[in-house]
Structure 1
Amino acid sequence: MNDSKKIIKTVLDTLGFESLKEIQEQTIHTFQKHKDLLLLAPTGSGKTLAFLIPLLQVLDSKKEGIQGLIIVPTRELALQIEQVFKSLKSTFKVTTCYGGHEMRIERNSFKTTPSLVIGTPGRLIDHIAQGNMDLSGCELVILDEFDKSLELGFEDQIREVFYALSKRQRHILTSATNLDRLPDFLPFEKPISLNYIGETEKNLLKQKVVKTTTKEKTETLLRLVSTFEGEPCIVFCNHREAVNRLSIFFNDYDFPHAILHGGLEQIDREINLIKFRTGSANILLATDLASRGLDIPEIKHVIHYQLPQQEDAFIHRNGRTARMNAAGASYLMLTEDEYLPKYISEKVEEVIPPLEAMPPVHPIYECLFISAGKREKISKGDIVGLLTKKGGIKGEDIGQIFVLDKASYVAVKRPCIKSLLAKISQEKLKKAKVRIAIAN
Structure 2
Amino acid sequence: MADGEVKEADENSDVTFKSMGLIDPLLEACANLKFLKPTPIQAQSIPYALQGRDIIGLAQTGSGKTAAFALPVLQNLYKNPSTLYCVVMAPTRELAYQISETFEGLGAGMGLRCAVIVGGMDMMSQSIALSRKPHVIVATPGRLMDHLENTKGFSLRGLKYLILDEADRLLDMDFGPSIDKILKVIPKERNTFLFSATMTTKVEKLQRASLSNPVRVAVSSKYSTVKTLIQTYLFFPFKHKDTYLVYLCNELAGNTFIIFARTCNDTQRIAILLRNLGFGAIPLHGQLSQTARLGALNKFKSGSRSILVATDVAARGLDIPSVDVVLNYDIPQDSKAYIHRVGRTARAGRSGKSISLVTQYDLELFLRIEAVMGIKLKEYPVDKEAAMLLNERVGEAQREAVVLMKEQHSGRNDKKGGFANKRKRGDDREER
Same fold (TM over 0.5): yes
Shift in CA distance, 127/337, structure 1 to aligned 2, threshold 3 Å: closer
| Equivalence for 1:343 | 369
In the TM superposition, what are the counterparts of 1:397-416 in structure 2 within 5 Å? Answer: none
Deviates more, 1:64-73 or 1:152-161: 64-73
Query: Within 1, Cα distance between the matches of 2:167 and 2:153?
Result: 24
Partner of 2:8: none
Among 175, 179, 189, the alignment partner of 1:168 is 189
C-alpha distance in 1 between matches for 2:166 and 2:84: 22
- Which 10-residue stretch deviates more, 209-218 or 108-117? 108-117
Spell out the pairing of 1:45-56 with structure 2 (5 A cutoff): 45-56=63-74
CA contact (8 A) 1:304 1:332 kept: yes
Unaligned runs of 5+ in 1: 360-440
> CA distance change for structure 1 residues 249 and 47 in 2, over 3 Å: closer, same or farther?
same
1:26 is matched with 44
Q: Deviations over 1:128-187 (max 9, x none)?
A: 122342312211111111111001000110111112211111111111223332327733
Structure 1 counterpart of 2:154, from 123, 128, 133: 133
Structure 2 residue 200 is matched with structure 1 residue 182: no
Q: In structure 2, what is the equivalent of residue 415 of structure 1?
A: none
The answer to whether the aligner puts 1:319 opposite 2:356 as a matched pair is: no
1:234-313 aligned at under 5 Å gives the runs: 234-313=258-337
Q: Which amino acid aligns with 2:143?
A: R
Change in Cα spacing, 1:201 to 1:215, as seen in structure 2 (3 Å) is: closer
Q: Which has the higher strand share?
A: 1
SS of equivalent residue, structure 1 residue 341: helix
Indicate conservation of the 8 Å contact 2:233/2:379, yes or no: yes
Which SS does the other structure have where 1:248 is aligned?
helix
In 2, are the aligned partners of 1:321 and 1:329 still within 8 Å (CA)?
yes
Corresponding letter in the other structure for 2:250:
S
Residue 284 of structure 1 aligns with an amino acid whose one-letter code is L
Out of 183, 186, 191, which is 2:214 matched to? Answer: 191
Deviations 1:280-302 (A, max 9, x none): 11111111111012221221211
The CA RMSD over aligned residues, in Å, is: 2.3
1:246-305 Cα shifts (integer Å, max 9, x gaps): 123212211111111112122111111111111111111111111012221221211111
Query: Could you tell me how far apart the structure 1 residues matched to 2:127 and 2:79 are?
Result: 22
Counterpart of 1:134, as a letter, is: S
2:119 counterpart residue number: 99
Determine which of 171, 174, 183 is the counterpart of 1:153: 174
TM-score of the aligned structures, taking structure 1 as reference length: 0.76
Residue matched to 1:13? 31
Q: Shift of residue 190 of structure 1?
A: 5.7
Partners of 1:337 and 1:92 lie apart in 2 by: 52
Taking the TM superposition and a 5 Å limit, the aligned residue runs for 1:41-120 are: 41-60=59-78, 63-88=81-106, 89=108, 90-120=110-140
Q: 2:101 and 2:25 mapped to 1: Cα distance?
A: 18
Aligned residues: 358
Aligned to 1:331: 355
Whether the 8 Å CA contact 2:41–2:57 is kept in 1: the answer is no
**Shift of residue 23, structure 1, vs aligned partner:** 2.4
Q: Secondary structure at the match of 1:342?
A: helix
Letter of the 1:350 partner, please give it: E
Normalised by the length of structure 2, the TM-score is: 0.77
Q: Deviations over 1:177-233 (max 9, x none)?
A: 233323277333762111113588621222211011111111101111222222111
CA displacement at 1:34 relative to structure 2: 5.3
1:287-331 deviation digits (Å, cap 9, x = unpaired) = 111101222122121111111112221121122122111112221
What's the counterpart of residue 202 of structure 1? Answer: 226
In 2, distance between residues paired with 1:349 and 1:226? 20
Residues of 2 paired with 1:289 and 1:51: CA distance?
Answer: 23
Highest relative contact order (Cα 8 Å, sep 6+), 1 or 2?
2
5+ residue gaps, structure 2, are: 1-19, 391-432
Task: Give the structure with the larger helix fraction.
Answer: 2
Letter in 1 for 2:96: A
**C-alpha distance in 1, partners of 2:89/2:346?**
27
Q: Is contact 1:209-1:350 (8 Å) kept?
A: yes
CA contact (8 A) 1:227 1:353 kept: no
Distance 1:327 1:200, change over 3 A: farther
